């Protein structure tokens, strides 16, 4: 299994509070991603990173920010959590070797905003 650890695995928080999810990798992969998974929507990209301090927005980035201060860690922050951000969040990592790219996922963080 790829070395990806998400923390926490489960969290319940109140509306309006800040929340930070952490993704840690031991594979030294360049690319890291945050997706959210909701019924009927599949996996939707929130933000991704293509290097230390290099990030870009995905299709559902509103209300989220990210930071990557070192290769192994990619943090997702909800500045002021809302009930619509209740979801399962997945971190993924990828690397390209030659013409081949593979991407691997963490086990997910289930976030409930009450």
Partner 1 sequence: GQQLNQSPQSMFIQEGEDVSMNCTSSSIFNTWLWYKQDPGEGPVLLIALYKAGELTSNGRLTAQFGITRKDSFLNISASIPSDVGIYFCAGLMDTGRRALTFGSGTRLQVQP
> Applying CB under 8 A, which part among 17-25, 64-72, 76-84, 104-112 lies near partner 1?
104-112
To which H or E segment does residue 24 belong? strand 19-25
Q: Exactly one of 17, 41, 52, 84 binds partner 1 (CB under 8 A); which one?
A: 41
Beta carbon nearer to partner 1, 5 or 67: 5
Q: Nearest Cα to 57, choosing from 73, 69, 49? A: 49
33 near partner 1, judged by CB under 8 A: yes
The strand ranges marked E within 8-98 are 10-13, 19-25, 31-38, 42-51, 54-57, 64-70, 73-78, 87-97
Q: What are phi and psi of 107, to 5 degrees?
A: -85, -5
54 near partner 1, judged by CB under 8 A: no
Question: Where in 60-79 is the site for partner 1 (CB under 8 A)?
Answer: none
86 near partner 1, judged by CB under 8 A: no
Residues that bind partner 1 (CB under 8 A): 31, 33, 35, 40-45, 48, 50, 56, 58-59, 90, 92, 94, 99-108
């Amino acid at each position: 299994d790829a070395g990806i650890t998400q923390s926490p695995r489960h969290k319940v928080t109140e509306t309006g509070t800040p929340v930070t999810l952490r993704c840690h990798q031991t594979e030294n992969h360049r690319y890291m991603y945050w997706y959210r998974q909701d019924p009927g929507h599949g996996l939707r990209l929130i933000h991704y990173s293509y290097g230390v301090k290099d990030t870009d927005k995905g299709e559902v980035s509103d209300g989220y920010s990210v930071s990557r201060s070192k290769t192994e860690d990619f943090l997702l922050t909800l500045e002021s959590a809302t009930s619509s951000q209740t979801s399962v969040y997945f971190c993924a990592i990828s690397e390209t070797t030659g013409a081949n790219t593979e991407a691997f996922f963490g086990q997910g963080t289930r976030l409930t905003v009450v």
